[in-house]
Amino acid sequence: MPTLTQNIPILDLSPEIDELWQDLNDAMQGVLRSGHFIMGPNVKALEQELAEYLGTRHAIGVNSGTDALVIGLRAMGIGAGDEVITTPFTFFATAESISMVGAEPVFVDIDPETYNLDPALIEARITPRTKAIMPVHLYGHPAEMDAIMALAERHNLKVLEDVAQAFGAEYRGKKVGTIGDLGAWSFFPSKNLGAYGDGGLITTDDDKLAELARMLRVHGSKRKYYNEVIGYNSRLDEMQAAILRVKLPRIDASNDGRRRVAHRYNELLADMPGVVAPVSRADVNHVFHQYTIRVLDGKRDAVHKQLGDAGIGTMIYYPVPVDKLPVYSGSSASLPVSDQATEEVLSLPIWPQMDDETQDRIVDQLRRSVA
């Protein structure tokens, strides 16, 4: 139990590590003693276990979530001269990956409740150069995939889901990351299913896309030293795969823990003026990678600072929309919903094992700061 003198981080991994210590230690010792460190039996087993859990034909381990996006785009044939429609309200890697393959990100504004790509605004931005849509399931809330897939089918576009923040989330009974042509996942340590280093995953039901992705992660070769295309060195580490295999069977319980904390936040914040709690729409299974509120009336930055001064870690995801960053400045017209979100959002601490005393302290300080 934390005391009033202890700081509260935005994420505390120590309860998870304590709970899993013996299993994690056994798994890591097993890798060390095996002598297999790159693309070994744990990577192969993890890929099979992930495919089964997610309900997809292919799960392909790579070095990071960013690599998953880049390799996914390459596998789909996206390149120079192409346009990919995506959100401006996301981590930079979403748009960066599009630029890295030579294509151009086209930014479309977001839904004000879910912070995800607004499907109603997509069609107006489709041009003859548009080749794909890249929705992001931000904060763990699934994007409106039925509407996005309908647009993609009507205009013959590919769909690559950025699932970095949404492992285990469901949209109308189907795991996100398995609805579009490809899913790209991150196993960064802060993710719902996180490694203790970098790691990523590509999922698809398409055999051809899977074959290309597997080639691209190992320098463009199906067989060692017989390279067919220019690829990447993007192999999932065997140690990280072993760690993820320990954590995967517990992911549903972990996500349930996050939902418990989020629902209690909702109850505690229900009567707090100037604060808007996040939504969780009825047809989705939100996994609350982040618990992100809105702080109204221009108070967000002051509240952020006051919480920090009180020893409570909060984060602003994201303070600048991607289309306003220097490398993309001027690339799109005003996107007012995204712009407003960057001025109001504030993510509060959340982890599956958070106790009520910690949460009460956070909310009490938030109430004082907002007032």
CATH number at residue 105: 3.40.640.10
Question: Is residue 1, in this structure, part of any structural domain at all?
Answer: no
What is the C-alpha to C-alpha distance for residues 115 and 126, in angstroms, rounded to an integer? 21
Confidence of residue 4 (pLDDT cuts 50, 70, 90): very low
CATH of the domain at 282: 3.90.1150.10
| HSE-CB for 192 with a 13 A CA cutoff | 30
Any idea how long the chain is?
A: 371
Q: Please check whether residue 276 is in contact with residue 294, taking contact to mean a CB–CB distance below 8 angstroms.
A: yes
pTM of the model: 0.96
Q: Is 70 exceeded by the pLDDT of residue 3?
A: no
Q: Both 222 and 282 in a single domain?
A: no
Of 249, 273, 290, which marks where a domain is finished? Answer: 249
Give the tokens for residue 78. Answer: 């996206």
Q: Is the pLDDT of residue 1 over 50?
A: no
Domain count, the chain: 2
Residue 176 has pLDDT above 90, yes or no: yes
**Mean pLDDT, the chain, integer:** 96
- Same domain, yes or no, for 236 and 316? no
Q: Is the pLDDT of residue 17 over 60?
A: yes
Structural domain containing residue 79 = 16-249
- Domain co-membership, 245 together with 266: no
pLDDT in tens, 181-234: 999 999 999 999 999 999 999 999 999 999 999 999 999 999 999 999 999 999
3-state secondary structure of 35: coil
Statement to judge: residues 264 and 231 lie in one domain: no
* Co-location of 306 and 241 in the same domain: no
Query: How far, CA to CA in Å, does 29 sit from each of 21, 234, 235, 254?
Result: 12, 24, 21, 24
Does residue 60 sit within a domain?
yes
Q: Is the pLDDT of residue 57 over 80?
A: yes
Q: Return the pLDDT at 334.
A: 87
Please list, in sequence order, all residues whose beta carbon lies within 8 angstroms of the beta carbon of residue 361, skipping any fewer than 6 positions away: 2, 4, 8, 312
| In-domain check, residue 112 | yes
- When pLDDT is averaged across residues 117-141 and rounded to a whole number, the result is 98
Question: Given pLDDT bands bounded at 50, 70 and 90, which one contains residue 332?
Answer: confident
Residues 94 and 239 in one domain: yes
Whether 61 and 199 map to the same domain: the answer is yes
Mean predicted confidence (pLDDT) in 119-134: 98
Claim to verify: residue 257 and residue 239 sit in the same structural domain: no
Residues sharing a CB contact under 8 Å with residue 333, sequence separation 6 or more, in sequence order: none
The domain boundary residue, chosen from 202, 228, 249: 249
Q: What 3-state DSSP class applies to 230? A: coil
Kindly state whether residues 258 and 363 are assigned to the same domain. Answer: yes
Q: Are both 28 and 138 inside the same structural domain?
A: yes
Is there a single domain that holds both residue 112 and residue 46? Answer: yes
Question: 249, 268, 287 — which closes off a domain?
Answer: 249
In a domain, 11, yes or no: no
